[in-house]
């Protein structure tokens, strides 16, 4: 009896070869393939948050938690106009900041975080945004993800910020394996991505997750990574 590969349709043969290629690919090959793909398809990858200086960026990143960049970009112009420096924001009441950010998620907590961040920034760092991950996390409202964003975007440090998009995309493609939290994903990613590309890779994965590999109904038909994607191999052609 002839095998299905011999007697099957051209489509079945292509799927057979695709699965064969997928199964033979090791982690290093996978990362190389993904990096080369993004270098060609997304040569320019950067944050979609709008800012003019490090202080404005940290304000925007704090506001962006569980909120879209589009919404944050609508909020920040008037907020920054009123509180353009850490010194101005540090003496504000959270209720005054709240008036400018009501349309974003969790505005009460974020108003407190912004004022506290500005105060601590002056107290500990003379109003200058630090470039160290641990120092950044001393600021209210700044967790590891936000600290990595600032270090990466402002100071071009090899820091991998893992948000929901990066966490999802890395797991689906197979760049991360069995990661149960953002830190585990981060450690797996930076192990295989060249240091000079880590800051850009952060944006590659975020933008891919935001516009292609979306949480529900990912747009696999327009994705150039299906031949190596663990999720696609399992969900679409098995």
Reported as a single tens digit per residue, the pLDDT across 177-228 is: 999 999 999 999 999 999 999 999 999 999 999 999 999 999 999 999 999 9
Count the residues in the chain: 238
Asked if 51 and 76 count as a contact pair (C-beta separation under 8 A), the reply is yes
pLDDT digits (tens, 9 = 90+) for 123-132: 999 999 999 9
Q: Is 148 helix (H, G, I), strand (E, B) or coil?
A: helix
Domains of the chain: 1-41+158-238 (1.10.1670.10), 54-155 (1.10.340.30)
- Range 66-71 contact pairs with CB under 8 angstroms and sequence separation of 24 or more: 66/105, 66/106, 67/104, 67/105, 71/103, 71/104
Going by pLDDT thresholds of 50, 70 and 90, the confidence category of residue 22 is: low
Distance, CA of 138 to CA of 120 (rounded, Å): 8
19 classed as catalytic: no
Asked if 129 and 55 count as a contact pair (C-beta separation under 8 A), the reply is yes
pLDDT digits (tens, 9 = 90+) for 97-131: 999 999 999 999 999 999 999 999 999 999 999 99
Contacts of 37 (CB under 8 A, 6+ apart): 224, 225
Pick the catalytic residue: 120, 138, 163, 234? 163
Pick the catalytic residue: 69, 145, 180, 200? 145
27 classed as catalytic: no
Across the chain, mean pLDDT equals 90
Distance, CA of 121 to CA of 126 (rounded, Å): 6
Asked if 75 and 104 count as a contact pair (C-beta separation under 8 A), the reply is yes
Q: Is 89 helix (H, G, I), strand (E, B) or coil?
A: helix
35 to 155, 173, 183, 220, 235: CA distances (angstroms): 22, 12, 21, 18, 23
As a three-state string, the secondary structure of 12-75 is HHHHHHHHHHHHHCCHHHHHHHHHHHHHHHCCCCCCCCCCCCHHHHHHHHHHCCCCCHHHHHHH
Residue from 49, 123, 106 nearest 80 by CA: 49
In this prediction, residues 53-73 reach a mean pLDDT of: 95
Going by pLDDT thresholds of 50, 70 and 90, the confidence category of residue 48 is: very high
State phi, psi for 2 to the nearest 5 degrees.
Answer: -75, 150
Residue in this structure with the two tokens 């879209």, named with its chain if needed: 68
In the prediction, which pLDDT does 235 show? 74
Distance, CA of 55 to CA of 44 (rounded, Å): 23
């Amino acid at each position: 009896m002839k095998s299905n590969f011999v007697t099957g349709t051209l489509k079945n043969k292509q799927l057979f070869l695709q699965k064969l290629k997928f199964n033979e690919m090791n982690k290093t090959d996978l990362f190389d393939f993904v990096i080369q793909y993004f270098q060609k398809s997304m040569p320019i990858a950067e944050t979609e948050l709008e800012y003019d200086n490090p202080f404005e960026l940290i304000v925007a990143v704090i506001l962006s938690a569980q909120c879209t960049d589009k919404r944050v970009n609508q909020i920040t112009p008037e907020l920054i106009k009123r509180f353009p420096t850490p010194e101005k924001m540090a003496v504000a009441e959270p209720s005054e900041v709240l008036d400018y950010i009501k349309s974003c998620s969790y505005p009460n907590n974020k108003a407190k975080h912004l004022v506290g961040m500005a105060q601590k920034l002056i107290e500990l760092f003379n109003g200058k945004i630090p470039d160290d991950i641990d120092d950044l996390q001393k600021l209210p409202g700044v967790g590891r993800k936000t600290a990595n964003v600032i270090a990466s975007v402002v100071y071009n440090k090899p820091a991998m910020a893992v948000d929901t998009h990066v966490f999802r995309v890395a797991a689906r493609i197979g760049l991360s394996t069995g990661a149960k939290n953002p830190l585990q994903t981060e450690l797996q990613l930076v192990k295989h991505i060249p240091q000079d590309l880590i800051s850009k890779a952060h944006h590659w994965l975020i933008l891919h997750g935001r516009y292609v590999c979306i949480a529900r109904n990912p747009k696999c038909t327009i994705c150039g990574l299906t031949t190596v994607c663990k999720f696609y191999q399992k969900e679409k052609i098995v």
